[in-house]
Amino acid sequence: MAETFEVKMIARIHSDFPSKFGIPRQSGLVENLQSLIVFEPEYRNPQALRGLEDFSHLWLIWQFSKAVREDWSPTVRPPKLGGNTRMGVFATRSPFRPNPIGLSSVKLEAIEKHPKYGMVLRVSGADLMDGTPILDIKPYLAYTDSHPQAKGGFTDELHLNPLTVIIPDEWKQKIPQDKLEALIGVLGHDPRPSYQDDPDRVYGFFFGGMEVCFTVCEHTLTVCEIR
């Protein structure tokens, strides 16, 4: 019989994504995305962060809080393969796993003192939904964690060619200046499911308090409304 053990949530991340649609598919893809990590009261001791300021990047271990299932499947269908090809769950980063645990590498931008929450971490490049539970934080060590020549399996065939993003001035002026570059990065990496390619369809997602609506024709994404 499989053993079980208790895992405690130590923090939550606050990002510009209130829902899953639109979140980058991997951490680090959109470096301009800013997020805030707020610790739970039990873990707000500043001593727990001693020395962290000397590291530039962190590993976040977190829970897929909106993708929890009671059962699991040995195979899943990665969206990047069109949603039809099955791969072994352990050969993917699918959220539908025996344990709904995610791993992300983020850049540590600052350690700040919040008037209400004590010491918080400002990070960039996260691929997490707002409110996602953080289970642990570890420093990223380039000398052992980085493997530039590593093979990427089936993902090596999926070339990252960002879309051309067009935002007409009438909509661009509605976007806060500090959110603009991050939003362009999110749109450039094509938030649509890989198996959807309808140039007449209007897609939309929420980001930073805005609803962003867009269409995609060939390799160009055009924002058609900001609400």
Query: Would you tell me how many other CB atoms lie within 10 Å of the CB of residue 186?
Result: 25
The answer to whether position 133 is within a domain reads yes
Contact between residue 100 and residue 114 where contact means Cβ atoms under 8 Å apart: no
Q: Give the whole-angstrom CA distance, residue 37 versus residue 128.
A: 11
Q: Specify the pLDDT at position 177.
A: 95
- Grouping H, G, I as helix, E, B as strand and the rest as coil, residue 89 is helix
The answer to whether position 83 is within a domain reads no
The answer to whether position 93 is within a domain reads no
Regarding whether 166 and 59 lie in a shared domain, the answer is no
As a whole number, mean pLDDT of residues 71-98 equals: 84
The answer to whether position 92 is within a domain reads no
Q: Report which secondary-structure segment, H or E, holds 137.
A: strand 133-139
Regarding whether 109 and 170 lie in a shared domain, the answer is no
The answer to whether position 21 is within a domain reads yes
Pairing state between β 164-166 and 220-226: parallel
Mean pLDDT of all residues belonging to the chain: 92
Out of 119, 145, 171, a domain closes at 145
Residues forming beta bridges with residue 199, ordered by sequence position: none
Domain count, the chain: 2
As a whole number, mean pLDDT of residues 111-117 equals: 96
Regarding whether 160 and 129 lie in a shared domain, the answer is no
Out of 89, 118, 145, a domain closes at 145
Regarding whether 140 and 159 lie in a shared domain, the answer is no
Residues forming beta bridges with residue 215, ordered by sequence position: 222
Q: What percent of the chain has pLDDT over 90?
A: 74
Regarding whether 26 and 138 lie in a shared domain, the answer is yes
Q: Which domain range does residue 166 map to?
A: 155-226
Regarding whether 162 and 139 lie in a shared domain, the answer is no
**pLDDT tens figures, 9-21:** 999 999 999 999 9
Out of 92, 117, 145, a domain closes at 145
Q: Specify the pLDDT at position 153.
A: 87
Q: Which residues contact 77 (CB under 8 A, 6 or more apart)?
A: 83, 84, 85, 86, 87
Q: Is the pLDDT of residue 76 over 90?
A: no
Provide the residue type at 185 as one letter: G
Regarding whether 48 and 112 lie in a shared domain, the answer is yes
Q: Give the whole-angstrom CA distance, residue 224 versus residue 199.
A: 13
Regarding whether 160 and 57 lie in a shared domain, the answer is no
The answer to whether position 78 is within a domain reads no
Q: Is the pLDDT of residue 84 over 90?
A: no
**pLDDT tens figures, 171-222:** 999 999 999 999 999 999 999 877 778 899 999 999 999 999 999 999 999 9
As a whole number, mean pLDDT of residues 142-158 equals: 87
Confidence of residue 138 (pLDDT cuts 50, 70, 90): very high
Query: Would you tell me how many other CB atoms lie within 10 Å of the CB of residue 124?
Result: 19
CATH number at residue 204: 3.30.2310.20
CATH number at residue 108: 2.40.30.70
Query: Would you tell me how many other CB atoms lie within 10 Å of the CB of residue 28?
Result: 16
Angle formed at CA 35 by CA 20 and CA 53, multiple of 5 degrees = 140
The answer to whether position 1 is within a domain reads no
The answer to whether position 106 is within a domain reads yes
